[in-house]
Amino acid sequence: MQLRKRRERDRTQTFLIEGHQEIKQAISAHFPLQALFFSSHSIEDPDLIDIIEKASYCGAHLVEVTPLLFTKLSYLNHPCGLLAVGEQRHLSLKDAEKEFCPSPFILVVESIEKPGNLGAILRSADAAGIDALFLCDRCTDLYNPNVVRASMGALFSVPTIELSTDEAISWLNRKGVKIAATSPQATIQYTEADFQPATAIVMGAEHFGLSTSWMGSAHLCLRIPMHGIVDSLNVSAATVLLLYEVVRQRQTRS
């Protein structure tokens, strides 16, 4: 499958979706599907037939293949029998902001490298109910099959906007959204900040952390207490902690 390569995804503006859950969620979120490949074994399972019918109704071209060929198409160790080709969607900030709540809850990630981390971050972001994910100076392709997979379909539910660091900072400042960064040098713990007002949690790349542009623009610089020998958490672990601190504060004080 050529679509495993980023260049091909960029050129065709399409991507691969594998897994029942993921394909169902893509359909629910009205992501246009160009095609759905299914193994001839799949039509023995009523759940899969339901997904195939829905995909067809939404305009996907259906392609039945032998189980052997399906195994070759699949990028999973345990193929589930369905593989879709979806069309990429590029949301503009102007469109997305119409849906934001009055005190928006934004997550910004800068130059994340590993697809597994970006996928796990999307999954946590969906669970925490953020208004939008800003993907700044992207490094990993949002439509990499491993991002789709690790997100468990959250890629389809989290409004994600790709933009430059400068554009993001300028928009957040214009809208009065507090920018909260984390740093091992910070003195205030992340549980001591006030996340009731409009907030953007900002997370940097795995090895290099946040760029100086973001560190210089942060209104809050927060510390995650570290009681062992490692000096930082994995980026997706740090992200879920910060996101759920916002959730905790907003539900207990509201």
**Which of 14, 124, 140, 199 is the binder for a copy of itself (CB under 8 A)?**
124
**Which of 133, 158, 168, 210 is the binder for a copy of itself (CB under 8 A)?**
158
108 is a site residue for a copy of itself (CB under 8 A): no
CA distance 192 to 131: 22
237 is a site residue for a copy of itself (CB under 8 A): yes
Residue ranges in 202-231 that form contacts with a copy of itself under rule CB under 8 A: 224-230
CA distance 26 to 143: 13
**Which of 132, 198, 222, 240 is the binder for a copy of itself (CB under 8 A)?**
240
Residue ranges in 32-91 that form contacts with a copy of itself under rule CB under 8 A: none
**Which of 128, 168, 198, 202 is the binder for a copy of itself (CB under 8 A)?**
128
178 is a site residue for a copy of itself (CB under 8 A): no
Dihedrals phi, psi of 34, to nearest 5 degrees: -80, -40
Residue 251: Cβ-neighbour burial (10 angstroms; 0-12, 13-18, 19+) = exposed
C-alpha torsion 130→132→136→139, nearest 10: 80
To a copy of itself, the closest distance from the beta carbon of 220 in angstroms equals 17
CA nearest to 214, candidates 154, 125, 137, 122: 137
To a copy of itself, the closest distance from the beta carbon of 204 in angstroms equals 16
**Which of 191, 215, 221, 223 is the binder for a copy of itself (CB under 8 A)?**
191
CA distance 100 to 165: 20
CA nearest to 106, candidates 239, 223, 249: 239
**Size of interface with a copy of itself, in residues (CB under 8 A):** 39
CA nearest to 42, candidates 75, 16, 71: 71
Q: List residues binding a copy of itself (CB under 8 A).
A: 25, 28, 116, 120, 123-129, 150-154, 156-158, 191, 224-230, 232-234, 236-237, 240-241, 244, 247-248, 251-252
